[in-house]
Amino acid sequence: MIYDYDALQKDISKIAKKYPFIKIETIGRSSNHREIFALRLGTGEKEVFYNGTHHALEWITSKLLMRFVFDYCKAYIKGRRLKGYNVRKLFDTVSIYIVPMVNPDGIEIAKFNDKWQANARGVDLNHNYDALWKEGRDIAKTMGYGKPGATKYSGRCPESEPETRAVANFTRCKNFEYVIAFHSQGEVIYWKFGDTLPPNAEKIAEMLSNASGYALDETEGVASYSGYKDWFMDKFNRPGFTVEVGLGKNPLPIDQFDKIYNDILEMLVLAGV
């Protein structure tokens, strides 16, 4: 039941054939040369960005984002609404960019290792961004994560990994008003990075919380450093969010999928507000 790179490729192919109005591009390749896909929903000037599966065991986030792509496309074609929102209007006013699977190699390893969160080179991609990277690396070392392994190793330098470089370069080329990195688990939304508080961050955080029922929270310890949303907030002074979907132990059981999707769907279409 795992949603892996092969499953993603099949879904990308279906989208390309059935919904040619969706722009699909490759923004880079993983350590093992798998494509990192980005999809663009809509043509509007406002730009937002969602990504999933920085961490291998959290592959359910890729499946959730691709389910959203299919539902968005169907609603657009049929003139239907999603969670009460007019998708055709959304298409014209907002460009929603989605990188559903940041870490395709890690998922392949996680099929045989139930602790593996890193990429194929043993680097935790969500600790490989230039946002207090050295501080995070030093804390991780004291915890025993000073070399390549299943989790929390920060790499030899920020953006040392092709996956993080691809996502960071893609972000630099766009004008995202806000970004959401989807992870699992906890049913919480992390919305702060140190003392950085970009304009509208709290307002958007409250909207996301109200839409999903997820609580707003703050990270602690090593989780407070060098993540994607941390980097985005630090470098662009714009709102960034880490959304931890579902409850339990990673990988989350697939029988949670429908509930999680229903919980976060309004959050995904809120881009048009």
The token duo for 75 is: 């609603």
Tracing tokens 């690396």 back to the chain, one arrives at: 137
Q: Say which amino acid occupies 247.
A: L
Catalytic residue among 3, 244, 261, 266: 244
225 is catalytic: yes
244 annotated active-site: yes
Q: Rounded distance, CA 88 to CA 48, Å?
A: 17
Residue with tokens 């949670």: 256
Output the CA angle 143-247-128, nearest 5 degrees.
Answer: 40
Euclidean distance between CA atoms 62 and 39, whole angstroms: 12
Which of 3, 225, 228, 261 is flagged as catalytic? Answer: 225
Q: For residues 203 and 231, what is the distance between their CA atoms, to the nearest angstrom?
A: 20
**Distance from C-alpha of 127 to C-alpha of 226, rounded to nearest angstrom:** 5
Beta-carbon contacts of residue 270 (< 8 Å; ≥ 6 apart): 85, 207, 208, 211
Decide if 183 contacts 241 (C-beta within 8 A): no
Cα–Cα distance for residue pair 194/230, rounded to 1 Å: 9
What positions carry a catalytic annotation?
A: 225, 244
